[in-house]
Amino acid sequence: MSRVIWKGAISFGLVNIPVVLKPASRTHTLDLDMLDKRDMAPIGYQRINKHTGKPVESDDIVKGYAYEKDEYVVLSDEDFKQANVEATQTVDIVSFVDAASIPPYYFETPYYLEPDKRGERGYALLHETMRRTGRAALAMVVLRNRQHLAALLVSGKALVLNTMRFADEVLPIEDLALPKGGKQGASAREVDMAEKLVEDMTEDWAPEQYRDTYRDDLMAVIDAKIKSGNTHLLTPASEDTAPATKGAKVIDMMALLRDSLGKRGKPGKRAAEKGSDEATAAEEAPAKVSAKVSAKVSAKGSAKGPAKGAARKSAPSKAPAKKTVATKKPAAKKAAAKQAAARKPTAKNAAAKKAPARKAA
C-alpha cells in the first residue's frame, strides 16, 4: 500500500468529508551516485556554515526568511501550521467547472483521495454527483508548506486530486510565434489526408503498452560495461558533430502524409500484412538457400586456381583441331595408295627384264 502523505477533510459546502491523501505516481529514474574518478570513491555532501566553513548537524538547521541582507526571521514547523490551521487540514472546494475545459498544462502532480473513518458516505455522494454532472471541483489545499490550486476529478470509483499551477505561473501562449495562416497554413487536401492518418492511428487507451525505452537502453549500456569488465572505463566523447543548420527546405506535405498512410494500418490489417510478409519470406527461403549454395560452389571452383580453370576454358577449342586431323586422314590414304600403285608396275618391269636375260644364259 502507498503511504499516507496528508490527512484532512474535503470541505463541500457545509459537508466535511474525512480523507487521506496518497501518491498516485512514482518515478523510475536511475539512482546514480557521484564518484571521484581518481579512485571511484563516492562523494558526500555536507552542509557548511558559510561563516566558519565547518559542517553543521541537521538538528542545528532551521529555516529563515531574509527580510534584509543577513537579517532573517526564523520559522518552525508550528509557524507554518498556525499561519492557517484550516488551510493546512482542508481541501476547500471553491467552485465546479466542466472537466474538459481545464487546459492540460495547468496540471502538476496527481494524488489519490481515499475516505478516512466516517467519510465513506460523503465521499460516495461527492463522487456520484461529479460523475453524473461531468464536473471537476476546483479547490485550495496546502501541501508541504505551500498552497496549491487543485482539481478533484472522477477516475473510475475513486476521486483524484491533481495539483495545478496558478494562472501567473503559466506563461502566455501569445508569446509563441505560431502559424498565421495563408502560406503557413494547411490546405484542405492536407487536412483531409491528415485526418485519415489520425483515424488510421487511433487506438483504445492502453497506457501499459508505453514505457520508458530510453531507461532500458541506458541499462543495456550499463549491463554491457559490467559484462565486459569495463566498469571504470569512461566512454570518450563522440567526435561526431551536429550538421550545420541550413535554410528550411520546402516540404511536400501531401507526399509525406501519403507515405505515412502507406506504412501504417489498423491493428488487424497490420497483423494480416505481417502474416503475408512471413508467408512471402517462407516462400523465398528455398530460393535464397539455393542461391547461397550456388554462390558457395562457384566460390570453391574459383578458389582451386587459374590453371585448371584455364585448361577447362581451352578444352572446347581443341575440338575443331581434332576435326582437322580427321579430315587429313583420307588424303594421306590416297597418297599412299598412289605410291603403292606406282611402285607395282616398276617391280613387274624389273622382273620382265631379268627373265630374258636368264633364257639367254
Provide the CA 163 distance to its chain's centre, in angstroms: 31
Pairing state of beta strands 41-42 and 35-36? Answer: antiparallel
Domain boundaries, the chain: 6-25+61-169
Q: Which of 161, 22, 8, 16 is closest to 87 using CA atoms?
A: 8
Cell numbers found for residue 208: 501499459
Q: Most confidently modeled of 137-151, 168-182, 304-318?
A: 137-151
pTM over 0.85: no
Share of the chain above pLDDT 70, in %: 69
Burial class (CB in 10 A: 0-12, 13-18, 19+), 332: exposed
- How far is residue 131's CA from residue 107's CA, in Å, rounded to a whole number? 20
Q: What is the pLDDT of residue 133?
A: 95
Cell numbers found for residue 103: 487546459
The residues that bridge with 281 in the sheet, in sequence order, are: none
Q: What is the pLDDT of residue 223?
A: 92
With b meaning 16 or more CB within 10 Å and e meaning fewer, what string describes 163-175? bbeeeeeeeeeee
Measure Cα distances from 102 to 23, 154, 174, 253, 311 in Å: 22, 14, 18, 32, 87
The pLDDT tens digits of the residues spanning 229-276 come to 988 888 888 776 555 555 455 567 788 888 888 776 544 444 444 444
Amino acid code (one letter) for 203: E
The fold for domain 6-25+61-169 equals Ku70; Chain: A; Domain 2 (2.40.290)
Pairing state of beta strands 90-98 and 6-12? Answer: parallel
